[in-house]
Structure 1
Amino acid sequence: MGPDERRRVFEQARELSTRQETWAEADRLWARVVEAYRDAVRGPGGTREDQQQLARALWRHSMLLSARGRAADGTAPGGEAVVVFERVYDAVAAEGGNVAAAPRDDALAELITALVDLAEVSFAAGQPATRRDLLERAVTMGLTSAGSPPDAGPRTREAMGTAYHNQAVALLHRHLTRPSSAEGAKEAALAASRACELRQGLLDMARPLTFWELANTYGVYAQCLVLIGDLDRAALVLSMGNRFVETLGPAAAEPAQQLRVAAEMLAREQGGSQGAAGSRRWGWRR
């Protein structure tokens, strides 16, 4: 399969993956695309673009398998995608250039995104600990490669915002299912706070998705704040999130649900605080 044919079949598989009724066909086609790019990478004329396309095909196939209820099967191509994306990033980084500008920003963002998505595929496959480890690896990769997130490139900042958001969700899930101490909720709140900071800086009127993502993170952050007893801040975050949801309308169903959960948690805690002794009430406010 030549370069033009590989690109054509890749796009065909990508298009088929957007509709559930054609997922089975897309599944078969992604297998062909992966093998075609593997052959290209192994061949004497293999290029970096071939490596990138191989990684992207593996990543997309992994996500499709998970969407089809076969997450356990999706972990292998997802893991291979991470390996190839890392190889591509190392080659790009070795050439120097500004880490906040293309092509390094693009390559790093793809690597972080692949780690984050593999984490969610692993969770769907019943591996919550692996999910947390991969999300920590994604965050660490961004910090060690690009430094402070606000100084990273735009695509890396977007990927890091998702990494921190998903890490907050994972830590919150662990705390709610295996509460051992307040530290778990504090760790989740810190990750959510970092996600909020990054996503606030990415707000773009031309991209409604940026408002959706921040509203979703506000819902998770508010839940974490309630759990650590910071009720005043939780109420403020809820208010900001609800304003975004009102603006977005029906498209914001998922963030709205996260915010409703946080509002119910807050109402329960506020009710308990009002009926408690004054010392406990002031303790929550600290």
Structure 2
Amino acid sequence: MEARERLDREYERLREQQADPARSSPTPAQWQSLADGYRNALRERPDVDTTRGLARALWRLSMTLHAAGDPAGALGPGRQAAAEFDAAFRKTLGWDADERSPAVDAVLAELLVARCDLAEAAAAAGKPGECIRMLEEAREAGHSMTAGHGITAGPRSLRALGTVHHNLSVAEMNRLLDGVRGGRIDVDRMAPALSASRAVEIRQKVLAPADPLSMWELANTYVQYLRCLGFVEEPTRAVGVTELAAQLVALLPRGTLADLRPQLAQAVAMLSAAYPAHARALDRALKAARPRRGWRRRGI
């Protein structure tokens, strides 16, 4: 126990150092050393906390390598992290299968986020097919683990599952565009829209007006959904989504990295060019947005 607690303190120290822009980030060697320490501790005490500690150290190692410009090198520890998070999740279920348990929710969320980060590394390493496979695995892991064990996803894991579906939609859209440019006729035009629609559904559930990030995440997915609707010939639905997106984007701060107005305008311009008969309705939906009190959710 003492060895793991020492490792946990070192993990927190490195994590805080990584989060502080005024300090130099931990090196891959530091994360590797910590992962090795957890491996040694795991041989002596193969409990859930040590397994989770190993998974988190490997996850940070993978992200550090990716950030340092070595996405290919990030894949190995990233895959190991995903496997260890899976083991930690199953061990957690072994002693606490309460669907409301923060422990179950936290481990499942980490498992899903780690797979999303691994997929990003695969895409950056020039492996788009592997990126999609990883996100599909994350999607299935999230849904099968909750359904298979009778667990209702908690707030953290539900939010992570929304990210999985959003990122999968983006990856599927990139695959679709590559296929269209290559003259392929067997590309699935519906897949990106279906993933985006599911991401919208999930992110509506976790939307909290007091949480600006949840608002930005849903607005970002609305924009992605609009891009997808242009490929499946759904201009009428796109008008409704534009109205929802515009209402939410109007609540976000202007002129910051969180400002999605340019992306929304670009998506609407693309739809207007593709479906001129709906251009006026799309423009009205875009310009009619006014921040409202008590913003309410609407389904699409």
Compute the TM-score of the two structures, normalised by the length of structure 2: 0.82
The residue aligned with 2:276 is 271
Q: Contact (CA 8 Å) 1:245, 1:252: kept in 2 or not? A: no
After superposition, residues 82-161 of structure 1 pair within 5 angstroms as: 82-95=82-95, 97-147=97-147, 151-161=152-162
Q: After the TM superposition, which of the residue ranges 83-92 and 13-22 deviates more from structure 2? A: 13-22
Partner SS, residue 102 of structure 2: coil
Name structure 2 gaps, 5 residues minimum.
280-300
CA change 1:103–1:15 in 2 (3 A) is closer
Query: What CA distance in whole angstroms lies between the structure 1 residues aligned with 2:205 and 2:95?
Result: 29
Query: What CA distance in whole angstroms lies between the structure 2 residues aligned with 1:242 and 1:58?
Result: 40
Partner SS, residue 229 of structure 2: helix
- Pairwise CA RMSD of aligned residues? 2.6
Shift of residue 15, structure 1, vs aligned partner: 2.3
Question: Are 1:208 and 2:212 counterparts?
Answer: yes
The residue aligned with 1:219 is 223
The residue aligned with 1:284 is none
Aligned residues: 273
List per-residue Cα deviations over 1:63-122 (Å, max 9, x = no partner): 121122111111111000011111111222233523453332222222122212111111
CA change 1:105–1:185 in 2 (3 A) is same
Shift of residue 45, structure 1, vs aligned partner: 3.6
CA change 1:101–1:188 in 2 (3 A) is same
Shift of residue 181, structure 1, vs aligned partner: 4.1
Shift of residue 239, structure 1, vs aligned partner: 2.6
Q: Which amino acid aligns with 2:172?
A: L
Q: Which amino acid aligns with 2:206?
A: L
After superposition, residues 187-266 of structure 1 pair within 5 angstroms as: 187-249=191-253, 250-251=255-256, 253=258, 255-266=260-271
Q: Which amino acid aligns with 2:102?
A: A
List per-residue Cα deviations over 1:127-173 (Å, max 9, x = no partner): 10001101111111112111299942222211111111011001011
Give the share of equivalent positions with the same residue, in percent: 33
Query: What CA distance in whole angstroms lies between the structure 2 residues aligned with 1:202 and 1:77?
Result: 30
Q: Contact (CA 8 Å) 1:150, 1:157: kept in 2 or not? A: no
Query: What CA distance in whole angstroms lies between the structure 2 residues aligned with 1:204 and 1:24?
Result: 32
Partner SS, residue 230 of structure 2: helix
Higher helix share: 1
Query: What CA distance in whole angstroms lies between the structure 2 residues aligned with 1:28 and 1:143?
Result: 35
Query: What CA distance in whole angstroms lies between the structure 2 residues aligned with 1:181 and 1:192?
Result: 22
CA change 1:211–1:134 in 2 (3 A) is same
Query: What CA distance in whole angstroms lies between the structure 1 residues aligned with 2:138 and 2:224?
Result: 19
Partner SS, residue 6 of structure 2: helix
Question: Are 1:186 and 2:190 counterparts?
Answer: yes
Q: Contact (CA 8 Å) 1:9, 1:29: kept in 2 or not? A: no
Q: Contact (CA 8 Å) 2:48, 2:92: kept in 1 or not? A: no
List per-residue Cα deviations over 1:33-72 (Å, max 9, x = no partner): 2122122112x24532121111011112211211221111
Partner SS, residue 251 of structure 2: helix
Shift of residue 213, structure 1, vs aligned partner: 0.4
The residue aligned with 2:62 is 62
The residue aligned with 2:50 is 50
